[in-house]
Amino acid sequence: MGTPPPLWSPSTDRILEKVIVWGGVALLVGLFLFMMLPAVQTDVGRPVRRTECKNHLKQLALAMHNYHDAYGSFPPAYVVDKNGRRMHSWRVLLLRFLEEGGLYKQYRFDEPWDGPHNRALAAQTPLIFRCASDLENTTEANYFVVVGPNTVFPGATPIGIKDITDGTANTILLVEAIHSGINWLEPQDMSYEEAVRGINCKAGWSISSRHKGGAQVAFADGSVRFLPNDTPVEQLPRMLERNDGQEVTWPSQ
């Protein structure tokens, strides 16, 4: 009867070492992939959210044109009372043209946007006023008109297409922005001075988004363009002013 082989040998040690090493490698790889999963999911969702944002701007621009067909002008940036106090936003005026007639009927124009009755509607933010990429505060608006003497929205005075002498395809109607702190009902928008700072400007509130590399704007002809972060700042006034006679040079997409 021969001697049985030993239960433990140097070869067994080597096999065990390999199992431990490769098991550790597999664990580290698995942990790395797990940590990266949210980022991968976010990257996958970006094109979808950017497309959804673009569609929101297109729908808002179409509603603006339907308002124009009904009243002969785009809505004013805001409606004021007899003392010049801002009472109502263009967003409220557009509700009937955005399949939000029920919400429009609940709104009272005999009190300001933040009056006791209207204040209760402030939390009912229509999704059309929100970008899917910006989920920080569901009552904040993400789409704004730019208020300035020579923009399409000088304030309480409505402007018609006939007043856009630079051409509707060259003149900005709506812009996208984040971190506004502006409730969708509030008659407050982006100023001309803020809009010309640049795209995703770090020096203050500006045309901005959570989309990688730029932000989207709608033009008065209903088209939507993605403006990259490196859009020359001297081009923004040319896009924003409706009657300056300056040629627009389009940034590469």
In this predicted model, what pLDDT tens digit does every residue of 105-117 receive, in sequence order?
Answer: 999 999 999 999 9
178 confidence band (pLDDT: 50, 70, 90): very high
The tens digit of pLDDT for each residue in 219-246 reads 999 999 999 999 999 999 999 999 999 9
The whole-angstrom separation of Cα 20 and Cα 228 is 50
Min mean pLDDT across 2-6, 61-65, 105-109, 178-182 is at 2-6
**Dist CA 85 CA 243 (whole Å):** 28
CB 216 within 8 A of CB 225: yes
Question: Among 19-28, 48-57, 113-122, 190-199, which stretch is predicted with the lowest mean pLDDT?
Answer: 19-28
Mean pLDDT of the chain: 87
Name the pairing type of β-strands 143-144 and 172-176.
Answer: antiparallel
Lowest mean pLDDT among 108-112, 138-142, 176-180: 138-142
Give the mean pLDDT of 109-137.
92
E-assigned strand segments in the chain: 78-80, 86-89, 143-144, 146-147, 172-176, 190-191, 214-219, 224-228
Q: Is the pLDDT of residue 23 over 60?
A: no
Q: Which residue has the tokens 């936003």?
A: 89
Instruction: Check residue 250 and give its pLDDT.
Output: 77
The whole-number pLDDT of residue 39 equals 35
> How distant, in Å, are the alpha carbons of 11, 15, 137 from that of 6?
11, 15, 69
Residue 40: the pLDDT is 32
Q: What pLDDT is attached to residue 3? A: 53
Q: What is the pLDDT of residues 46-97, one digit of tens each?
A: 778 899 999 999 999 999 999 999 999 999 999 999 999 999 999 999 999 9
Q: Tell me, what's the pLDDT at 138?
A: 76
pLDDT over 90 (residue 132): no
**Which of the residue ranges 9-23, 126-140, 234-248 would you say has the lowest mean pLDDT?**
9-23
Q: For position 33, what pLDDT does the model report?
A: 41
- Strand, coil or helix: what is 102? helix
Q: What is the pLDDT of residues 24-49, one digit of tens each?
A: 545 554 544 434 433 333 334 577 88
